[in-house]
Chain A
Amino acid sequence: MVSRLERLLNLTAALLTTTRPLTRDEIYERVPGYPVDDAKGSARRAFERDKESLREMGIPVETEEVPFTEPPLEGYRIPRDQYALRDPGLEPDELAALHLAAAAVRIEGLRGTEALWKLGGLPAKADDALAAIPTIPQLVPLFVAVGGRRPVSFTYRGERRSVDPHRLSFTRGRWYLDGYDHDRGAARQFRLDRLEGDVALGEPDSFERPAEHANEALPPWQMGDEAPLEARVRIDADLAGWGVDHLGPEAVRARHPDGSVEVVLTVTNRDAFRSFVLGFLDHAEVLGPPELRHDLVTWLTNLAADQSPSHVVTAR
């Protein structure tokens, strides 16, 4: 009895060494372990399953027409140049550093260990992970698209969008995609957990890789299409340090003797701006412009007057 692993390894060897595509019958003959090809198609089923397994692990099993067959027969082979990993030429210290990084940062659901095996494995045992990064299923195809400069289309908040993907970023615990949105005719940022369904990939090298840029994910109050407003916010001494760390020193317009700071933010999403300011509770005050200050006062006034419907007591 030939084990499945043995059959898979022999199949890989047969398809890697052949100079022309092998037909299924030739494969059954050369690779031990396939059941007799009975009327139920047992051998065919076993082969299809093996082929799928090999492709799933990234082995390029090509389907080609076998030359000089009439009627034409399908044949299979693995082109060696496509199979092999190009040697990145890593020095031992570089491989060790990559290994430590992969051990320190766990990318959930991705095969970092297998990647290291292919590069030569490493004897070091991993310490406790320094950090974990969640992933979503669309991340890998988007990574392929960004690297290959392939346009993508996907459904985002119920709408189909066509995008030249420029950059993936992970920040504040979430993945984002920056790119050129063809439907909006402008650069846009997408939150990947709001993508619905599969990502469709277009042809490689369809656009120019953008120049290196250091921009981070936009803050929520800039993720909108509203006319930009320059908001001035005063943060009191208790939370001034935290606010400045969060917003960056370039947001600071003034520092006051009482320890409070005045910061300036560009707002294109008023709802998100209001949420941000409310996070400071009574440690922050919107100084201007008047419309933003008015928005917040109205919002708070309504809340201050509100009674939860289930608890309305009818006063007499």
Chain B
Amino acid sequence: MARPSAPDRLRRLLALVPWVVAHDGPTLEEVCARFGLTQDELVSELDLVFLCGVHPFTPDSLIDVSVADGRVWIRYADYLERPLRLTPDEGLALVAAGAAVLAVPGADPHGPLARGLAKLADVLGVDPAVDLDVTLGTAPAGVLESLQEAVSAGRAVEIDYYTYGRDQRTRRVVEPHSVFGAEGHWYLEAWCHLAEAERRFRLDRIGSLTVLDRAALDPGPAAPPPEERPPRGQATSTSHAGVRRVFEPRPDDPRVVLDLEPRARWVAEQYPLERLEERDGGRCRVVLVVSERAWLERLLLRLGPAASVVEGADGVAAAAASRILAAYRPAPRR
């Protein structure tokens, strides 16, 4: 890992020094754990603090650092006794994370998080109940809690699942590993007995769910799970350590080439593209990776005249449109 820049190290020191000042000789170990440093790194930062102070840098105007028996004391730094105020982006990071977790079904609206968030918001001058609303995803009542319990208790689960990409409903037994939110939806990552593979399931497409009375099997080391019929409506998330990508195109997935009018430009922004070619008048030609017909049908039906198929999807929209139209003839059903 690259050595942090001087400003980044200063950020940490301006938080670390006040904390040590306020505590009577905390252990080096605890300081390291709280501020994400190794012992060597901490010692070298403390060596530097020891050289700092104010003019004329006589012993009584230098910050005093003493280390003994694995504990550390910092004195003569009363001007650093309070940490630096939170910047707006730091405040937003904490308030948004707190609000997001509080909005997850099952969160305690009067628990420590709610109380801590209220105190923090007060210092920042914001009102989290009014100013901010963070919803990580939607899920049918009880599904998220049941799955989280099944994951932590290590239970197998039977689900009734709507596979969006194939427009199909199936019952399947899965061994859940984790539940996570990404791009506005909740997902379950699990070993699926029907597919005999790792799969991801969107919680809002789970119709019903039964936690089974048996322990989840350990499928052993598995390849990274593909999407259970990838929701092609999801753009890949920017890669970021620890954050999961929702959709990974497979090399053998069919490709579809479309010409898009300017008003259909959102397709290029929203879906992972294999290629984008600019054309005259704000039009563009895109190559999409599509393996599921129902997903492609929806896209083409929505785009209508704003898209024309160049390759790979002849007659798909027309066939789907005719199928849907059948319900509209001759008169609306009662």
Residues of chain A at the chain B interface (Cβ within 8 Å): 3-6, 8-10, 12-14, 16-17, 29-32, 53-54, 56-59, 80, 82-91, 93-98, 100-102, 104-108, 110-123, 128-134, 139-141, 143-144, 146-148, 166-174, 209-213, 216, 234, 238-239, 241-242, 245-246, 274-275, 278-279, 281-283, 285, 287-288, 293, 296-297, 299-311
Whether A57 pairs with B10 at a CB distance below 8 angstroms is yes
Asked whether any CB of chain A lies closer than 8 Å to the CB of B317, the reply is: yes
Q: B107's closest neighbor in chain A, by CB?
A: A101
Whether B113 pairs with A108 at a CB distance below 8 angstroms is no
Give the most central of B90, B98, B140: most A CB within 10 Å. B90
Question: Which of A8, A143, A213, A287 sits near B92, CB closer than 8 Å?
Answer: A143
A29 vs B204: C-alpha distance when bound (angstroms)? 65
Whether B184 pairs with A308 at a CB distance below 8 angstroms is no
Binds A, one of B46-54, B67-75, B276-284: B46-54
- B135 contact set on A, CB distance < 8 A: 169-172, 216
Binds A, one of B190-198, B211-219, B221-229, B321-329: B321-329
Given contacts A9-B49, A139-B92, A216-B135, contact A147 B305 (CB under 8 A): no
Question: Which of B84, B134, B185 sits near A59, CB closer than 8 Å?
Answer: B84
A8 vs B84: C-alpha distance when bound (angstroms)? 14
Whether A10 pairs with B53 at a CB distance below 8 angstroms is yes
CB distance from A282 to the nearest CB of B (A): 5
Asked whether any CB of chain A lies closer than 8 Å to the CB of B238, the reply is: yes
How many contacts A-B (CB < 8 Å)?
A: 378
Given contacts A132-B237, A172-B184, contact A107 B87 (CB under 8 A): no
Residues of chain B at the chain A interface (Cβ within 8 Å): 6-7, 9-16, 19, 30, 33-36, 48-49, 51-55, 57, 63, 79-80, 82-98, 100-102, 111-113, 115-117, 119-120, 122-127, 129-140, 162, 167, 169, 178-185, 204-205, 207-208, 237-238, 240, 242-244, 294, 297-298, 300-302, 304-305, 308-311, 314, 317-318, 320-328, 332-333
CB distance from A175 to the nearest CB of B (A): 9
Whether B100 pairs with A170 at a CB distance below 8 angstroms is yes
Whether A3 pairs with B112 at a CB distance below 8 angstroms is no
Given contacts A90-B116, A94-B116, A146-B131, contact A112 B93 (CB under 8 A): yes
- B131 contact set on A, CB distance < 8 A: 143, 146-147, 166-168, 209
Given contacts A57-B7, A85-B123, A300-B325, contact A17 B79 (CB under 8 A): yes
CB distance from A291 to the nearest CB of B (A): 13
- B11 contact set on A, CB distance < 8 A: 57, 114, 117
Pull 9 A–B residue pairs with CB atoms less than 8 Å apart, ordered by A.
A12-B14, A13-B53, A57-B10, A58-B86, A93-B116, A110-B92, A134-B183, A241-B208, A281-B323
CB distance from B185 to the nearest CB of A (A): 7
A85 vs B91: C-alpha distance when bound (angstroms)? 11
- B86 contact set on A, CB distance < 8 A: 58, 85, 115, 118
Whether A91 pairs with B204 at a CB distance below 8 angstroms is no
Q: B186's closest neighbor in chain A, by CB?
A: A131
Whether B185 pairs with A173 at a CB distance below 8 angstroms is yes
A309 vs B258: C-alpha distance when bound (angstroms)? 11
A115 vs B86: C-alpha distance when bound (angstroms)? 6
Whether B132 pairs with A131 at a CB distance below 8 angstroms is no
- A171 contact set on B, CB distance < 8 A: 133-135, 184
- A115 contact set on B, CB distance < 8 A: 86, 90-91, 93-94
Whether A112 pairs with B120 at a CB distance below 8 angstroms is no
- B185 contact set on A, CB distance < 8 A: 172-173
Whether B89 pairs with A110 at a CB distance below 8 angstroms is yes
A9 vs B16: C-alpha distance when bound (angstroms)? 13
Given contacts A17-B79, A112-B94, contact A6 B52 (CB under 8 A): yes
Contacts A113-B36, A167-B133 aside, 12 further interface pairs with beta carbons under 8 A come to A83-B82, A94-B113, A98-B97, A107-B93, A114-B12, A115-B93, A117-B16, A128-B242, A132-B237, A140-B92, A147-B125, A308-B314
- B180 contact set on A, CB distance < 8 A: 128-131
Whether A118 pairs with B120 at a CB distance below 8 angstroms is no
Whether A143 pairs with B97 at a CB distance below 8 angstroms is no
A238 vs B207: C-alpha distance when bound (angstroms)? 9
CB distance from A131 to the nearest CB of B (A): 3
A297 vs B52: C-alpha distance when bound (angstroms)? 77
A110 vs B86: C-alpha distance when bound (angstroms)? 12
Whether B130 pairs with A210 at a CB distance below 8 angstroms is yes
- B92 contact set on A, CB distance < 8 A: 107, 110, 139-140, 143
- A86 contact set on B, CB distance < 8 A: 85, 123
Q: A172's closest neighbor in chain B, by CB?
A: B184
